[in-house]
Structure 1
């Protein structure tokens, strides 16, 4: 038993240990005080070497375990060699300070430390043949004796891995060379595993030729320490053998080889061999013939499969067959960018990168997160696919080599390529060191201080390691994100800006190819717009060259990039000389992105903006897109009308306010749709549609108030002989207007005391007509059509009635449909008191005491059935017509309105003009079940969103999905579907409305 060290010596030892980076000097001192370490206890060289490792405590513990596992002679040899030979000291301690898992391996196989003694030039950069030789010695040579072939392979693999790690942590290889060595070791390992399979099944080996194709990081010789090894298997029958028999034999060989690599035994595991990149993935046969592969790629393959084939290389087995496979698929890879669905597939690939990351891990993801490794790899691969068609120099499989070739060919600026290269190497080094610790597959930055400290020191960051590491990581991630966005677009600007020759030399043809790949249908026009925006030496052009790389990326993410760029040019032409415009886009982060989204989302919002480009300012203000309430709008409109010269000028001002507010609402709607990751929750959809309905209804009400004030002031000043009110009907009264809805109204008046009734009626009629005339004057502003056809007697009846006349009509002549129409009546303009008394007049009619009689219910059902058969436009698909089709707006509204008329007298919550509010009240009163209420609400919200989407995209109203493919895709984007998924959108719509129709059949028609 060792005696405790004197107090003074212990204090001195602790100080030395702390100075050399140990965090637990007590534990370290106890290890050094053991008899085994007595020969080197006071050796400063050993302490200095331990202090230079990633984790001195871990390295010392690993060394203690290794020493303990030796025989007495082995201990003396190890320690003496360690002190005498600096290369071994640095390599062995460096490995154990960085990898707990490899320290475990050395403790289990105490003789393997000798593999790190050799320090010859050939040892610095071994390739596949050297690894094959080392593995063969470990499997079939003396070192393999006493173990199964499979376990011998696992031990030999780890022994070879020790050398790669030692070179890596000591800095004698860089991260790219280490990744290449890992891929070469993987190649040698697969070859050895395949040879073992041949030995165990010589009959199978005799009838088939089997080639293993390396894919992914292994194929590109940029493998991680812990990663699946992606492969594809190709087989051919040997002469005189049936193909089916040969394929069965090859499948058995391939399966055995995969198990040898991935099985877990007492010697651990190597890595999984993943064959899921094969045609049809997991659902396809494990092994195919070459002709079968080619038939699949020619007919069925998706773009991502060709992108994966960028990295294919023959790896093991029959290398001639493997090379024939690579030679045969290579032309298809370089034609992938010409495929019709290339852009949609590329977007889907980008989405798949991020969409499966759990929210709590996004900020820690080195590989898939924003600014991660995949951003670099995806950008490089896409540029290879686009430009590699005509430039063979870009066809290398490795990321960094391809990036260098892109820079050399002028497709990427050399400074940008160098910055991206540096960032990628740093992130890969981080990934390597994180995986190395426990030899586990992970891409997450650790959270514990101990792990971060070890990680930082392993990268050579010894001063304030944790803080320095975090800063470096975040800086590199930001650089990757910035360069990822810039990589595609900066060369485009250099190609058209006609400045001094820069780093990039992108030709017009190459620029066109790139724009096509990013979704621009007319690349020639896009290049003209870029030239107009970015050329010259003015401050305006300089700012545009700063903005456009990011804006072009946002346009490319939309359904219509061409429209986005064209609209941006139009807005810039209109505002380019305005000092605040470009400054707003440059300095306000959200403003530029918001503008890009709005300009590329359809016709309505851009058309509104181009009529008043100064509304761009709304996109940068803190509350710029927040809807304004009716009171504030009405106050602004009435004040503007009061200042205007004449009625027509007054209404023009009111319509200008409406145009601006429509833009505000449409922009907020579009940006909200883009701003949701994936598909928003249903309650968010409902909130969005309610917000649009209220905003459009409020601004239409304010516009009518302005038109009313203008009409009165023009002819009567302040002495109008009658009170006058406008009652909103239909969706207007229900605050459920869409962008293209007419304003359904009733006009009511009441002569003032002492006024002549004939003159009052004449004045009221003149006011109503003048309002309609003023609002229908030709204008570039969106029309606001007043529809008064819901008045008593319809078009045959008087346009305006007194309150008493309405009372007399409803008392004597009213039909059930008129009572139903009044369910959504609400005052919107004019005399407030008169409007309130009109509502009091109609309440008993629309909410009849004791509900509706059976005759009335039958009449409502008859009218609904007649409407379904007569009003649906000829040729319209009843399964996708949002207003009158199956399960659409009309179905839901009539069902809710029937409940209101039958039960409104006893359920106060039903007395509302709003459909969703009434539906919720019916559910609360147990008049409709929870599931049925949810089905109807979902269908109503979806149909309303479709109508809004059509108006936003086409700039004109529509009740069904557009036939044009690009417009249909834009509607899909608004509804939350990515490009290429419009079929899914239509299926979802039909399914939702089909379920709603079933509820309508049950509740409205009672089965």
Structure 2
């Protein structure tokens, strides 16, 4: 390029690029050719100085001539050259970060596709009319962008992967009508020619249509119905991978979004999909073989540690977990990668380094292509091209660039291998031969029992044999093909071998076989257990420790995912972490998607309960912290259920208001174990609902339609119950008990604060005030929470007739014991028996109600433990009695927890220690309540 041309370009370019011109020209043959041409055409170089909004691109394309195809095509190509030069200059000069460059390239392709589609539609409609369905509605075209275009991550000289489709089937209404199939095939052909045909001005984008249904054998455009049927009937695993990136880029964008929403179940499985990793392994193996065959080891996209491997890392998480986690359904790689680090799916520093690696590799890829506007991903061989690449990346030498590339590749390869390397083919498990002999009936009856005994399972061989036979004859197992049965046998053999390391091998195996039978129809979970020794080990240990836990896992196989990382399995989060994690997850679910939201609450409850139980069984959490976490979990779930139910009601009916114009509130009051912060495994929730609306005869406002305020609150309460207690495929969150509301079963589902206060002051029985000692607000309006706390204080601090109070409580305790105590001469009822948990609670509640008017501090807390402490501090309860009661309470609640995990009831065989505990509690009860 002569000096005169350089000077002209220097003066033409905006100030931010003038000093960079020598490096730009060295880095890119494309710029050396394009900038003089653009200058000669009189192009406005001012656009090089700033990012260009999508609307500006649309305006540029809209200004192209519409009546002359040749002129239109030339105009398209000139616009493409202008904006490619703009993007290249800004990228190389450091005026644009990677995301802006990729987004700019993608926006250019979007605008070009939309322009070509509009031009082609006008041409076809002039000849054939408007395509319409049977109802006369216009049939709209949609272009789906796939791959890098779909992810708004287009590289500089990429082709664009497109799928053409149309909303319905029908016929055009012109003088020369065409069926919709013919019409939209012609439309696709014309768009392809307008964009891809090479003219003296070049081309706009090369187009690849091979990702469409049936590939080269399929029509160029298919109706939405045909698309849905194809993916449902014929869709292959690699097409799931491809559709992760799908995005409507032209045509009816809303219809395209609806189509992708309909296809979502094909792409993202409802449950965690570990089979997807095997499919991606296979696809990567094919790519690697093709790269080796073509000698493309220097390919920064497809080679070792390249862009494709990094994409596979991210997309493996998307395919496995995308059905459960909305944040993973983003078509863009970098936001998903950040989420993987923030959510703990990847170590946060690994996610950050992968992100840096991605930026480096994509900048390198762009620089390679910017050099000559060629679709290549291979490192250059010529010295001139290598120097150009170093100039583009501001790298001091080719050797230093290669060193940096090798570091990046090595890291990406390591992370790829962590996820995708197939498990080494270890020696066949020692139990494999035995399992095959038992499975296929080569060993039966006494011979089978003897073989199991010899193998180390001599304590329960008959039960094990029966469990194996039950699994073998299960319908889903009988339907397995031979390969699937062999994989199942391989898993079983590994489980049999690994169980021998446990003290209770037979017990662990029997319970694990129940889990296997529950998941045998879901190959993804079998794959998880077969390929992951850590998960197998954790499952065996947890099943050995607790039959309740093994049944819990069998009912919710999605929990198997939590076995992969013992660091989190045995470290349940605290109160703030539980609430924050649930909030983060449910925020990803649209408010209108009630089914998905309900299932998310159920999965979260089970996941956290598993982690709490695992920590409990291993002694990581003491008793009080187990109840704390189970209670915090319930608080978070109730709060989110209320928020979702309220949002649904508000969207339909607006909100109720009080007489003073302020929004009326709603609150959830917890009673019983929930109120007392003493939840156990499988506890139900005792709830009462309150509102503070003083215009129940009025109607809601500010919504699409109004309903009576009283009806609003009744429906809101029912929705909260539905969110928590309705049985779905994911189970239920909790059983809900509403019998503690005013007037019990005959009372209103929701009470006004005023009527509730009146009831507590004037009508409530003594036992209802006993229940109030364990009540607290757990969700809803802060104002109502304060009002409830004040009312509770007023009611509990009333002066009472001590003798009448004692009589009421003693009579209630006697009635409960007569109806509920299951004790016998041989067994003692931990909860209802004399000296048991209820006796301790009644002692505390009697003293609270008797003394609260003199010592209000005793009712500050709702849990029995701190109430006993408060009574002792106030001088109401003797210090020695407090020690006895807390020791007994702690021991008996610990027994309750352990027995729940062991599926054992609360009837214990009497022994000296239990008799001593009970006798001491009975003695205190006699002195305080019955003297």
TM-score by length of 1: 0.42
Specify the structure having the higher radius of gyration (Cα): 1
